[in-house]
């Protein structure tokens, strides 16, 4: 039978494009379909005056400087034949987990010296327990594409209680915050192997940011895909999928119908099944509930240099105000956002960021807040309400940053800062839903994952968030692993028979 392609990939999110690169590298005819006008998915950027504004990216995880060993990021780039140097990564100097009870500072791995000092200061009794957790994670092997992982789900909270037995419960809360907010599709917990992945990604390896922001990565990935002979169609929305008589897939899109033996989708599990059967609900996995608003504001640097304290020095701040615990869940009904915690990011604080994405006398602050999708879906129906809600997010985000700075000993008034804002933008769950197409704007996908990428349909595979690896680096790994397993390896077992 004459098929148009060997593999069609739905969605050019980070996972879709790496699945595309690997498939094309192995000599397959690959078609990558993306509804937006640029690749990257949730991680994208836009230009405003002389500024390039990143949409998704705060930081890459899994970074180790080359002289300190090989992090997961190095391995991924090797698989894609992208030179590590070409990403021009700048490390974070330090990041902070800030609770009312105290803060813990951490730097990049592989040693956890800075982190350990913080633990010793705040939890003098628990240093050994913390180190035994570090050793557990160092020795924990994660099988990447493993169906058993789904059956063996364990709660990270419960496992941590065992590993850290006798420790101050606040230590557990503080360690969970970054791992949850950077990678959990469950409320208030995550799967233990996912915790191990995140702990390694954030603390044993670490944060970095490419010079020029996410655009650098997007350009490199796109160029590699085209170099390997991949076909890319942008502004091409997939409308439906049908299985042909000979088991081939027929993909109906706004730019025509294409056939292929295999389909890989990064559009989400439920989202993909709905392309096949409108009533795919019996197959539906629990809809993910975790979504965010994101406020971005650009200030003159001078606005924050005050009281001889200099500028804030951390790159990422995990900021929490609830006494004794961190709440990682959709805000309650009729509440747009959770204003008791925030992920605050200072993207200009990465080292070696020679080429800034904004003029050098300016500074960007990004604030992500947990949001309630259902509420935003109602809000957006009345334009004036929606706009007012966006304004409210901006205000609350600024106030949270000011409350954080106050913890650091710098007092600034709201109006003082608000008046100096040069540029701002607010993304809501509705923006994310409209842009990426994910149900419920669930940033980390649905609650249930398909760790081996398989679906109820033959030759249809999932990569990205609903396979289970999240974040920019996780998504890239997911695409590679799925293509390796089903496009490259399985093809070989077939030809050998």
Partner 1 sequence: MSPLEVRQKVVEIIAHIAPDEDLTSLKDDVALREQLELDSMDFLDIVMELRKKHKVEVPPEDYPKLATLNSCVEYLTPKFIS
Ligand X SMILES: Cc1cc2nc3c(=O)[nH]c(=O)nc-3n(C[C@H](O)[C@H](O)[C@H](O)COP(=O)(O)OP(=O)(O)OC[C@H]3O[C@@H](n4cnc5c(N)ncnc54)[C@H](O)[C@@H]3O)c2cc1C
Site residues (CB under 8 A) for partner 1? 25-27, 66, 70, 75, 78-79, 83-84, 480-481, 484, 488-489, 492-493, 495-496
Min separation Cβ 61 and ligand X, Å:
5
Residue 247, SS3 per DSSP: coil
* Residue closer to ligand X (CB basis): 379 or 426: 426
Residue 178 within binding range of ligand X, rule CB under 6 A: no
Which residue from 174, 470, 480, 482 is in contact with ligand X, where contact means CB under 6 A?
A: 470
Q: Tell me how far, at minimum, the Cβ of 126 lies from ligand X, in Å.
A: 28
Q: Closest approach of Cβ 475 to ligand X, in Å?
A: 4
Secondary element (H or E) of residue 209: strand 208-210
Contacted entry of partner 1, ligand X, none for residue 36, CB cut-off 5 to 8 Å set by kind: ligand X
- Is residue 23 close enough to count as binding ligand X by CB under 6 A? no
Q: Are strands 51-54 and 45-48 parallel, antiparallel or unpaired?
A: antiparallel
Q: Is the peptide bond before 265 cis (omega within 30 degrees of 0)?
A: no
Query: φ and ψ at 352, to 5 degrees?
Result: 55, 20
Q: Of these partners, partner 1, ligand X, none, which one is at the site of residue 91 (CB under 5 to 8 Å by kind)?
A: none
Residue 182 CB, nearest approach to ligand X (Å): 6
Residue 370 interacting entry, from ligand X, partner 1, none, C-beta within 5 to 8 Å by type: none
- With binding defined as CB under 6 A, does residue 71 bind ligand X? no
Q: Using alpha carbons, list the distances in angstroms from residue 462 to 67, 138, 145, 265, 285.
A: 35, 28, 11, 5, 13
The 3-state DSSP composition of the chain as helix, strand, coil percent (nearest 5) reads 40, 20, 40
Q: Which is nearer to ligand X, 235 or 489 (CB)?
A: 235
**Strands, E, within 26-166: which ranges?**
30-33, 45-48, 51-54, 89-91, 95-99, 102-106
**Which of the 8 DSSP states describes residue 48?**
E
Question: Could you tell me the two tokens for 319?
Answer: 């900021």
- For residue 69, the minimal CB distance to partner 1 (Å) is 9
By beta-carbon proximity to partner 1, the closer residue of 62 and 253 is 62
26 contact choice in ligand X, partner 1, none (CB below 5 to 8 Å, kind-dependent): partner 1
Q: Which is nearer to ligand X, 90 or 471 (CB)?
A: 471
Q: Which is nearer to partner 1, 229 or 323 (CB)?
A: 229
By C-beta, is 79 or 465 nearer to ligand X? 465
Q: Among residue numbers 215 through 244, which ones bind ligand X (CB under 6 A)? A: 237-238
Binding residue for ligand X (CB under 6 A) from 465, 468, 480, 487? 465
Cα–Cα distance for residue pair 403/73, rounded to 1 Å: 34
Would you count residue 89 as binding ligand X (CB under 6 A)? no
Find the shortest distance in angstroms from Cβ 37 to ligand X.
Answer: 10
C-alpha 394/C-alpha 365 separation (Å) is 11
Q: Does 54 bind ligand X (CB under 6 A)?
A: no
The reply on whether position 191 binds ligand X by CB under 6 A is no
Backbone phi, then psi, for 391, in 5-degree steps? -60, -40
Q: Are 234 and 37 in contact (CB under 8 A)?
A: yes
Task: Pick from 30, 42, 218, 401 the residue near ligand X by CB under 6 A.
Answer: 42
Is 90 a residue that touches ligand X (CB under 6 A)? no
Nearer to ligand X, 28 or 274 (CB): 274
Give the span between the Cα atoms of 466 and 335, in whole angstroms.
Answer: 27
In the set 25, 77, 337, 443, which binds ligand X (CB under 6 A)? 443
The 286-315 site mask, x for binding ligand X (CB under 6 A), equals ------x-x---------------------
Least Å from the CB of residue 323 to ligand X: 27
Closest to ligand X by CB, 122 vs 196, is 196
Kindly state whether residue 337 participates in binding ligand X, applying the rule CB under 6 A.
Answer: no
Bridge partners, residue 258, by sequence: 251
For the bound state, the minimum distance from the C-beta of residue 197 to partner 1, rounded and expressed in Å, comes to 16
Kindly report the CA angle at 467 between 319 and 38, in degrees rounded to 5?
75
Q: Which residues make beta-bridge pairs with 45?
A: 54
* The entry of partner 1, ligand X, none that residue 441 binds, CB within 5 to 8 Å by partner kind: none
Measure the CA–CA gap between 435 and 35, rounded to whole angstroms. Answer: 9
Radius of gyration of the chain (CA): 22
Q: For the chain, what's the residue count?
A: 497
Non-local CB neighbours of 178 within 8 Å, separated by 6+ positions: 97, 198, 202, 203, 318
Q: Which residues contact 222 (CB under 8 A, 6 or more apart)?
A: 17, 39, 232
Task: Report the interface residues with ligand X, using CB under 6 A.
Answer: 10-16, 33-36, 41-43, 56-59, 61, 237-238, 266-267, 271, 292, 294, 368, 432, 436-438, 443, 464-465, 470-473, 475
């Amino acid at each position: 039978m004459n098929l148009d392609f060997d593999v069609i990939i739905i969605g050019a999110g980070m996972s879709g494009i790496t699945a595309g690169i690997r498939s094309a590298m192995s000599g397959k005819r690959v078609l990558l379909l993306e509804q937006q006008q640029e690749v990257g998915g949730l991680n994208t950027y836009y230009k405003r005056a002389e500024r390039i504004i990143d949409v998704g990216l705060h930081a890459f995880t899994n970074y180790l400087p080359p002289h300190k060993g090989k992090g997961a990021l190095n391995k991924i780039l090797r698989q894609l034949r992208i030179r590590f140097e070409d990403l021009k990564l700048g490390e974070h100097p330090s990041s902070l987990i800030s609770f009312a009870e105290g803060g813990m500072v951490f730097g990049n791995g592989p040693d956890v010296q800075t982190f350990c000092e913080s633990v010793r200061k705040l939890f003098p009794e628990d240093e050994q327990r913390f180190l035994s957790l570090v050793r557990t994670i160092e020795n924990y092997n994660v099988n990447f594409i493993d169906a058993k992982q789904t059956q063996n789900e364990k709660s990270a909270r419960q496992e941590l209680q065992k590993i850290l037995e006798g420790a101050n419960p606040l230590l557990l809360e503080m360690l969970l915050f970054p791992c949850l907010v950077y990678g959990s599709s469950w409320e208030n917990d995550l799967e233990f192997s996912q915790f191990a992945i995140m702990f390694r990604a954030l603390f044993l390896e670490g944060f970095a940011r490419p010079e020029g922001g996410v655009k650098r990565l997007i350009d490199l990935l796109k160029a590699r895909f085209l170099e390997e002979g991949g076909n890319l169609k942008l502004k091409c929305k997939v409308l439906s999928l049908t299985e042909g008589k000979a088991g081939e897939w027929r993909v109906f899109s706004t730019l025509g119908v294409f056939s292929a033996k295999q389909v890989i989708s990064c559009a989400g599990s439920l989202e993909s099944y709905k392309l096949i059967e409108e009533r795919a609900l019996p197959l539906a996995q629990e809809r993910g509930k975790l979504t965010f608003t994101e406020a971005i504001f650009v200030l003159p640097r001078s606005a924050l240099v005050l009281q001889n304290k200099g500028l804030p020095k951390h790159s990422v701040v995990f900021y929490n105000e609830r006494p004794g615990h961190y709440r990682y869940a959709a805000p309650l009904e009729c509440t747009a956002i959770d204003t008791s915690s925030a992920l605050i990011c200072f993207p200009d604080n990465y080292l070696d960021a020679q080429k800034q994405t904004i003029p050098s006398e300016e500074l960007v602050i990004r604030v992500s807040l947990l949001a309630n999708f259902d509420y935003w879906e109602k809000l957006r129906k009345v334009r004036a309400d929606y706009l007012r809600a966006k304004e409210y997010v901006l205000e609350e985000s600024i106030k949270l940053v000011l409350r954080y700075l106050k913890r650091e000993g710098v007092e600034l008034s709201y109006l003082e800062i608000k008046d100096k804002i040069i540029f701002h933008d607010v993304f809501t769950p509705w923006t994310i839903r409209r842009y990426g197409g994910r149900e419920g704007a669930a940033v980390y996908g649905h609650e249930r994952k398909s760790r081996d990428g398989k679906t109820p349909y033959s030759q249809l595979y999932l990569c990205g968030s609903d396979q289970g690896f999240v974040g920019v680096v996780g998504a890239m790994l997911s695409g590679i692993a799925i293509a390796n397993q089903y496009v490259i390896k399985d093809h070989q077992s077939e030809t050998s028979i």
